[in-house]
Structure 1
């Protein structure tokens, strides 16, 4: 079977597009030491890992290139030169930009573009330095979300649990913008108390019908994860959102730092009830990202 979809992964060619964080040697990131992935990660390598696990299509998510349009155009060329691999993409665009409509026009000229991601929160330490949390207080951000929704573009939301309630207040004012919560809301405190706090805060978003959730990136705050250690996250997401609003994403190659693709897929395969595999591993992503994929 090769009809499952990876709804969250990255690719990069360090000669084609500039990624400052991949050039910054010896700089620790919130997810750990990136040294092992500070090299090209191309579609051929991704496919070699994903296809044996039953994956046959994917969603590329922007990954902090210096220029979001350069990255989007490169991803489009990858899709164009690999027509046998169905792939859509989510691009970076600053939703507070004064010329946002023109920027979105340009992005939407690329046939693979389905949505936008602008990170609100990565981890408490980095957020203090970057100030990305301030987006939630910027009225232009809400206007940008509403504009994306009018255009049929989705929004990939990355943030930390401490911001879930505040963000829900913003998203409630943009009901036409389909939102995908990346990495289950980044539960960075994996103690029982931390996971309970995250799960309670998560209701603020799961109560919004236009918000879906990705089971992705769970290794970034648990480098020695096991199926049992991520079980509470998987179960809470499925309980709160329902399988029709939950989708699988590998977050490769970032989560490749903490395990191989086959082990990751096997863990999710076992943790997600078999009767909802089709939704979580395929149908939610197909519907959310309007992805055209054949079925084996």
Structure 2
């Protein structure tokens, strides 16, 4: 099964999507299933994983409602306040939602030590007890704290979104690789080949600039722990869906058929229990 392991939907509201700045005018509008489906068809994707972009239970419910309406939205990575004393009750309300396959928070906007709070770690463990994996959305300066988090939750499945957003625009990769490597040694930690073009120069990036980062991710995690994600519609800031998908397609063409199949969908399907 070929899957887009990371994309978003929203009904644009400048207050709820306050992270979309004026320079991001291209994505200051609604993006809904009808907008994405033709791209999935062109890329021969059987479905997608819809990931939260807003920190609210309203967002989780919104994505689950879309998934109920469209069978090809095969999973939802939602949001919940992991530090809340009522987390168990909140998770109970979603226990009958088979398409809720994981959770995420916008950790990149917070101090790295945020994820090491006792209440947050307790929340991660509660997710694990219920079989939910966790998407880690971070910048490179969060990697060391992320390793501490992973060590404190050794039985939890994690996936690092967007390769932890390395500094592709400047071409830096040595420090990023050095701090990614210890995380990759934890066998329950996965990584998404996603979000790269928006970390490059939006107007002038080339596929060749992305190759070193993809090669390092493949070296560190292997195809069994790598998954493709478009990061649509955020990717539109730097390129069309087809352009980034083609970069991943061509990169994986150099692998065996089984390795390519893992990255282009099977890893995500296994990770999210699709």
152, 171, 174: which is aligned to 1:173? 152
Q: Distance in 2 between matches of 1:56 and 1:208?
A: 30
Q: Distance in 1 between matches of 2:191 and 2:2?
A: 17
Number of positions where the alignment pairs a residue of Structure 1 with one of Structure 2: 269
Q: Distance in 1 between matches of 2:118 and 2:230?
A: 33
60, 71, 90: which is aligned to 1:103? 90
Aligned equivalent of 2:182: 204
Stretches of structure 1 lacking an aligned partner (at least 5 in a row): 122-126, 292-296
Aligned equivalent of 2:227: 247
Q: SS where residue 98 of structure 2 aligns? A: coil
Contact kept in structure 1, 2:49 and 2:76, CA below 8 Å: yes
The CA deviation string for residues 31-73 of structure 1, in whole angstroms up to 9 with x for no partner, is xx221111111101101122101112110000015xx222222
Matched, 1:88 2:68: no
Q: Equivalent residues in 2 for 1:1-296 (5 A)?
A: 3-14=1-12, 20-22=15-17, 27-28=21-22, 33-65=23-55, 68-83=56-71, 85-121=72-108, 127=109, 131-188=110-167, 190-192=169-171, 194-222=172-200, 223=202, 224-272=204-252, 273-275=254-256, 276-291=259-274
The CA deviation string for residues 168-212 of structure 1, in whole angstroms up to 9 with x for no partner, is 1121121222101000011135434x2111011101210111100
Q: SS where residue 116 of structure 1 aligns? A: strand
TM norm structure 1: 0.85
Q: CA RMSD in A?
A: 1.8
**Which has the higher mean CA deviation after the structures are superposed, 255-264 or 281-290?**
255-264
Q: Distance in 1 between matches of 2:70 and 2:262?
A: 26
Q: Distance in 2 between matches of 1:172 and 1:120?
A: 17
Task: Please list every run of at least 4 consecutive aligned residues from structure 1 whose deviation after the TM superposition is greater than 4 angstroms.
Answer: none
TM norm structure 2: 0.92
